[in-house]
């Protein structure tokens, strides 16, 4: 049975549809009674969020979310605002209360976790002291850069800056070896850009030109505040240097290819790749010389980088490093630095009207440095054992549904199915928070030393990463803090991880009917499982090793289906002249489509032989799809939407709803789609992967 308001949407004239915006009417010109408190809780969504001037068969995203979108402004200090943002603000406010309480007490035992979070947070808030100290906290670092007299000193300086988490032309990381997931190894990748990615340096259009000009103005402002007598020329030289670096960067499509970006080399082979740049100095200075080798993600970039280093005047490199240092520490320097940073990164790049208040920046900085201490305090107050157990039940059900889905695939042969099932059986699941919390005893935090605290926290984090080398794989480690509103799949760990921060309404609502939970958090669970079987995750086996476990026939059948998804999403253009690149977003689009497909299967399995109850006129299937739609509602500023398409791997959220709906027969049945409806695709054009 369909809600009456939805049924009338197919038949009514436009004036009647507009009249129905207030709620789910019982017929043209009538008002529906407000849902009872019990029914509202069970629904897990509010029909007042709908836009009943839009038919669900034409634009399900707008139908489900239009009322909310129309009445919800973007906060002045945010680039976008949606369900994720609302939960992040909730998490942020919870941490704010926790940190304020900790900071109010100056008697925490020295060296304790509470002393560290309290002093870190309090020091970041102390603007008067930061202002009074000026550049003194980082003066030794500025002097070190100024003292460089020869190009041969750059490798050691770059290595030093990396310990402080200051950007250099390359990035160095220690993680699991993708082909031998039982060991840690050092990786080197392209880096060095202050604009979001390479296309910002060369793309046409007034918007990108404005961002490049803004970047030059930003560099000029920081150098001026640091005492440079004539910063305009150096600021332009920094942009020119980064433009050369950007031209050598691999594009986003090539960077997604896990085979292309896995190039294992010995230290000697790495040195032979760039004879003029001494990697031995870098590896020794960072401690990465303990690595069993090095994975070079973009070999020809490193070759180009070495040439750029030789061809660029040494003075420009000093200016570049000075700017990068100031940019990294602007938040703990006098307010003129932070104001210049906001003017560019906030106003120009993101379109913000005002900077976040100091307390929000202090919470973020403390989380960045002491994330699991803050996370443990958060979990104690905001995540229950009941929620963890219920989430485990949902995950288990999704894994059963995925297993059944593999068995029923008509495009995959038995040999590959056996491998896929073997991988799925080895999935590890982490829910809420780590079983063992991170040890921060080696990190010194000093009250009143905001910049020093940030530098020590950066060095602590870097050293902790390097110390992995030669150690057994830490399978209890988390890549996100518990308060994070997100989730992830790790291909080398072969695990799915769901922090406590995302396990809140409307993603996960213990009071709601199962349908909306399966559509919301169930879809997220399915999304993360599906990442293990997307175009890149499917290249790893159950042990996390990059290995082809596909027959050639099945690999081609998979490629045929994913190419159709690429074509579908590449037609979505949220702004004039700006379209989604279906190749870049493919993994996330597979995750959404396959994730919701398996979540629906799990939901139906959970019902057994029973049919779901109708609640306030909504069938279980309708509530399922509305649960998915509501978690993706969001309002974007133009700058944020542009960056979403140009930089991130995710499609804009309207397509994370409608792009999935057009491919799911179950949606067609739930909302009675017919030929001629805007979301209708003929059966032979719909994509099904997992």
pLDDT in tens, 146-202: 999 999 999 999 999 999 999 999 999 999 999 999 999 999 999 999 999 999 999
Q: What is the pTM of this model?
A: 0.91
Residue 594 and residue 537 in contact, taking contact as beta carbons nearer than 8 Å: no
Mean pLDDT of all residues in 314-343: 98
| Band (17; pLDDT cuts 50, 70, 90) | very low
CA-angle at 291, arms to 288 and 295, nearest 5°: 95
Q: Which long-range contacts (CB under 8 A, 24 or more apart) does 49-52 make?
A: 49/630, 49/633, 50/21, 50/24, 51/21, 52/5, 52/9, 52/17, 52/20, 52/21, 52/24, 52/25
- pLDDT(26) > 50: no
Residue 595 CA to residue 369 CA, distance in Å, equals 33
Say what the alpha-carbon torsion angle 621, 587, 469, 459 is, to the nearest 10 degrees.
-90
SS3 at position 490 = strand
Assigned token pair, 567: 């074509």
Assigned token pair, 445: 């935090």
Report DSSP state, residue 342: I
Give tens-digit pLDDT for 382-416: 999 999 999 999 999 999 999 999 999 999 999 99
Q: Is the peptide bond before 396 cis (omega within 30 degrees of 0)?
A: no
Residue 287 and residue 466 in contact, taking contact as beta carbons nearer than 8 Å: yes
In this prediction, residue 504 carries a pLDDT of 92
Mean pLDDT of all residues in 132-140: 98
Q: At a CB cut-off of 8 Å and minimum separation 6, what does 621 contact?
A: 515, 600, 612, 666, 669, 670
Helix (H) or strand (E) holding 207: helix 206-225
SS3 at position 78 = coil
Residue 243 burial (CB < 10 Å; 0-12/13-18/19+)? middle
Q: At a CB cut-off of 8 Å and minimum separation 6, what does 552 contact?
A: none
The residue among 85, 65, 125 whose CA lies nearest residue 352 is 85
Q: Give the CA diameter of the chain.
A: 81
Residue 415 and residue 460 in contact, taking contact as beta carbons nearer than 8 Å: no
Phi-psi region of 108 (alpha: psi -120 to 50; beta: other; left: phi over 0): beta
| Band (609; pLDDT cuts 50, 70, 90) | confident
Mean pLDDT of all residues in 624-633: 97
Give tens-digit pLDDT for 446-485: 999 999 999 999 999 999 999 999 999 999 999 999 999 9
Mean pLDDT of all residues in 222-228: 97
| Band (27; pLDDT cuts 50, 70, 90) | very low
Say what the alpha-carbon torsion angle 341, 347, 352, 358 is, to the nearest 10 degrees.
20
Residue 435 CA to residue 593 CA, distance in Å, equals 31
Give tens-digit pLDDT for 30-57: 233 333 344 467 889 999 999 999 999 9
The residue among 165, 154, 185 whose CA lies nearest residue 274 is 154
Residue 75 and residue 629 in contact, taking contact as beta carbons nearer than 8 Å: no
CATH number of 383-434+478-685: 3.40.390.10
Residue 364 CA to residue 117 CA, distance in Å, equals 12
Helix (H) or strand (E) holding 526: helix 521-531
Torsions phi, psi for 411 (to 5 deg): -105, -5
Residue 595 CA to residue 470 CA, distance in Å, equals 36
pLDDT-above-90 percentage for the chain: 92
Q: At a CB cut-off of 8 Å and minimum separation 6, what does 139 contact?
A: none
More confident residue, 4 or 132: 132
- Lateral strand order in the sheet of 184-190: 170-176, 184-190, 294-296, 264-265
Mean pLDDT of all residues in 372-386: 95
Task: Estimate to the nearest angstrom the gap between the alpha carbon of 619 and the chain centroid.
Answer: 33
| Band (6; pLDDT cuts 50, 70, 90) | very low
Torsions phi, psi for 575 (to 5 deg): -140, 155
The residue among 623, 633, 616, 614 whose CA lies nearest residue 666 is 623
Report DSSP state, residue 55: -
End-to-end Cα spacing for the chain? 28
Residue 194 and residue 327 in contact, taking contact as beta carbons nearer than 8 Å: yes
Task: Calculate the alpha carbon distances from 619 to 5, 670, 671 in Å.
Answer: 13, 8, 10
Where are the chain's structural domains? 4-71, 92-369, 383-434+478-685
CA-angle at 404, arms to 401 and 406, nearest 5°: 110
Q: How many other C-beta atoms can be found within 10 angstroms of the C-beta atom of residue 255? A: 18
Residue 588 CA to residue 656 CA, distance in Å, equals 9
Residue 469 and residue 290 in contact, taking contact as beta carbons nearer than 8 Å: yes
Q: Give, to the nearest 10 degrees, the angle between helix 279-286 and helix 154-163.
A: 30
- pLDDT(300) > 60: yes
User: What topology does CATH give the domain 92-369?
Assistant: Neutral endopeptidase; domain 2 (1.10.1380)
Output the DSSP codes for 82-106: EHHHHHHHHHHHHHHHHHHHHHT--
Lowest mean pLDDT among 3-7, 197-201, 516-520: 3-7
């Amino acid at each position: 049975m369909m809600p009456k308001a939805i049924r009338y949407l197919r038949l009514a004239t436009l004036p009647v549809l507009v009249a129905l915006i207030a709620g789910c009417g019982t017929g043209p010109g009538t008002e529906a009674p407000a849902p009872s408190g019990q029914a509202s809780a069970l629904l897990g969504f509010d029909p007042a969020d709908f836009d009943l001037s839009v038919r669900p068969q034409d634009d399900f995203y707008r139908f489900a979310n239009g009322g909310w979108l129309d009445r919800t402004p973007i906060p002045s200090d945010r680039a976008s605002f949606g369900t994720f943002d609302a939960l992040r603000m909730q998490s942020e406010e919870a941490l704010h209360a926790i940190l304020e309480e900790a900071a109010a007490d100056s008697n925490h035992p020295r060296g304790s976790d509470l002393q560290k979070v309290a002093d870190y947070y309090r020091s970041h808030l102390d603007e008067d002291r930061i202002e009074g100290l000026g550049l003194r906290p980082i003066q030794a670092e500025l002097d070190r850069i100024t003292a460089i007299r020869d190009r041969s000193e750059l490798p050691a300086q770059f290595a030093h800056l990396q310990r402080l988490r200051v950007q250099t032309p390359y990035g160095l990381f220690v993680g699991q070896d993708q082909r031998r997931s039982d060991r840690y190894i050092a990786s080197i990748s392209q880096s060095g850009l202050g604009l979001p990615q390479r296309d910002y340096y060369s793309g046409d259009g007034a918007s990108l030109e404005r961002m490049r000009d803004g970047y030059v103005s930003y560099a000029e402002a920081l150098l001026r505040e640091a005492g440079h007598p004539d910063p305009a020329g150096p600021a332009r030289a920094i942009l020119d240097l980064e433009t050369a670096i950007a031209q050598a960067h691999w594009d986003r499509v090539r960077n997604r290819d896990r085979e292309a970006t896995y190039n294992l080399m010995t230290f000697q082979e790495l040195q032979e790749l760039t004879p003029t740049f001494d990697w031995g100095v870098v590896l020794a200075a960072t401690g990465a010389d303990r690595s069993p080798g090095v994975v070079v993600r973009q070999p020809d970039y490193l070759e180009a980088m070495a040439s750029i280093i030789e061809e660029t005047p040494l003075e420009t490199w000093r200016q570049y490093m000075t700017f990068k240092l100031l940019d990294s520490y602007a938040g703990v320097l006098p307010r003129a630095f932070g104001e210049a940073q906001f003017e560019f990164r906030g106003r120009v790049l993101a379109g913000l009207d005002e900077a976040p208040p100091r307390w929000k920046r202090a919470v973020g900085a403390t989380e960045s440095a002491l994330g699991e201490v803050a996370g443990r305090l958060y979990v104690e107050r905001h995540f229950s054992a009941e929620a963890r157990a219920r989430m485990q039940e949902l995950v288990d059900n999704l894994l059963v549904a995925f297993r059944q889905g593999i068995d029923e695939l008509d495009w995959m042969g038995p040999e590959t199915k056996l491998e896929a099932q073997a991988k799925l059986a080895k999935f590890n699941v982490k829910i809420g928070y780590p079983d063992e919390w991170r040890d921060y005893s080696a990190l010194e935090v000093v009250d009143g030393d905001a910049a020093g605290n940030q530098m020590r926290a950066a060095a602590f984090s870097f050293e902790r990463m390097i110390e992995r080398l030669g150690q057994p794989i830490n399978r209890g480690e988390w890549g996100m803090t518990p308060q994070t509103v997100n989730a992830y799949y790790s291909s080398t760990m072969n695990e799915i991880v769901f922090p406590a921060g995302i396990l809140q309404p409307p993603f996960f609502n213990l009071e709601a009917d199962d349908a909306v939970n399966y559509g919301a958090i169930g879809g997220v669970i399915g999304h993360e499982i599906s990442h293990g079987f997307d175009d890149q995750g499917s290249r790893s086996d159950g042990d996390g090793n990059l290995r082809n476990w596909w027959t050639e026939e099945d690999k081609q059948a998979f490629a045929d289906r994913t190419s159709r998804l690429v074509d579908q999403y590449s037609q979505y253009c949220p702004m004039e002249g700006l379209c989604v690149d279906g190749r870049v977003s493919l993994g996330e689009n597979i995750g959404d489509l396959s994730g919701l497909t398996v979540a629906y299967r799990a939901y139906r399995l959970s019902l057994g032989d029973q049919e779901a109850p109708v609640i306030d006129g909504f069938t279980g299937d309708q509530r399922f799809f509305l649960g998915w739609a509501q978690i993706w509602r969001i309002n974007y500023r133009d700058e944020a939407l542009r960056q979403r398409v140009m930089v991130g791997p995710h499609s804009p959220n309207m397509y994370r709803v409608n792009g999935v709906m057009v491919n799911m027969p179950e949606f067609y049945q739930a909302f009675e789609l017919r030929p001629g409806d805007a979301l209708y695709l003929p059966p032979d054009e719909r994509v099904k992967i997992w």
